[in-house]
Amino acid sequence: MKFGRVLAVIIVISLLLGAAAYYLSSRISHEYIGNVKTGVFHRQGCSHLPCEKNRAYFSSKEDAVDAGYRRCIVCWP
Ligand SMILES: [Zn+2]
């Protein structure tokens, strides 16, 4: 009986940690990718993403616009 309770607590804690980790990773993920050469920014997964060395990462559209980037006409972030 006691073992079952400990197990339940462990499961609850790991679920909470998982949710927290997911929340944090979604907060700090770089959702928008700018091309430092062209000054255009894209959504992740756009077929027109620049190569790694020309990328600038932004967590929000506003950050990208404030940095002087404009939206990609293909993925329209
Ligand atoms: Zn794009």
- Looking at residue 13, what is its pLDDT? 74
Secondary structure letter of residue 42 according to DSSP = E
- How many angstroms does the Cα of residue 65 sit away from the middle of ligand 1? 14
- How many angstroms does the Cα of residue 41 sit away from the middle of ligand 1? 7
* 12-23 pLDDT tens trace: 878 888 777 766
- How many angstroms does the Cα of residue 44 sit away from the middle of ligand 1? 8
Q: What is the domain range of residue 5?
A: 1-29
- Looking at residue 1, what is its pLDDT? 61
Burial (0-12, 13-18, 19+ Cβ within 10 Å), 21: exposed
Relative to beta strand 55-58, strand 32-35 is antiparallel
Interatomic CA distance for residues 39 and 72, integer angstroms:
9
Tell which wins on pLDDT, 77 or 25: 77
- How many angstroms does the Cα of residue 22 sit away from the middle of ligand 1? 25
Assess whether 8 and 19 both reside in one domain: yes
* 24-54 pLDDT tens trace: 665 556 899 999 999 999 999 999 999 999 9
Total domains, the chain: 2
- How many angstroms does the Cα of residue 8 sit away from the middle of ligand 1? 46
* Cα-only R_g, the chain: 19
In a domain, 77, yes or no: no
Assess whether 18 and 40 both reside in one domain: no
Tell which wins on pLDDT, 7 or 70: 70
